[in-house]
Structure formats: structure tokens, C-alpha cells
Amino acid sequence: VETRERTQIVEALVELLRDPVYQVAISAVIGLETLEADSAIAALEAYARGKVRQEAVVARRAVDR
């Protein structure tokens, strides 16, 4: 994926972290983890702080990757 396209993908996934549908938000977390998106660490940490334990664990795992 080209750098510009990757940036757009990461930005879209960060926006999806705020989606009220669990599957959408958690899929965004997994996508950011897969991309190893360092630029999304702050957004993932914020997501983890506002979620129940299971969701927070998934988000923190993505940050630690």
C-alpha cells in the first residue's frame, strides 16, 4: 500500500474506533494492529480507556505490538 493510501486507511480506521457498533470498532482496532499503525497509538489508548475490559485488552494488545 502506498504511503498516502496507508495514511488514509489509518485515518479511516481511527474514525471507526468511535463507531457505536462493537464489531465495527473492534474491526478497526484489529486493522490498526495489522497495519502496525504507530500514528494511531494515542487513539487506541483512548479507545481502551473508554471500554470494558475485553475491548480494552484487544486495543492495548494492538498498541503493544
pLDDT category at 64 given cuts 50, 70, 90 is confident
Query: 29-57: per-residue pLDDT in tens?
Result: 999 999 999 999 999 999 888 777 777 77
Check whether 17 has a pLDDT greater than 90.
yes
CATH class of segment(s) 3-64: mainly alpha
CB 16 within 8 A of CB 27: yes
Spatial contact of 29 and 59, defined as CB atoms under 8 Å apart = yes
Amino acid (one-letter) located at 50: G
pLDDT at 65: 73
Domain ranges of the chain: 3-64
Full-model pTM = 0.78
Q: How far are the Cα atoms of 2, 16, 35 from residue 24, in angstroms, in the given order?
A: 24, 7, 16
Residue of 40, 45, 42 lying closest to 55 (CA atoms): 45
Query: What average pLDDT does range 5-19 have in this prediction?
Result: 97
Helix 41-49 / helix 53-64 crossing angle, nearest 10 deg: 160
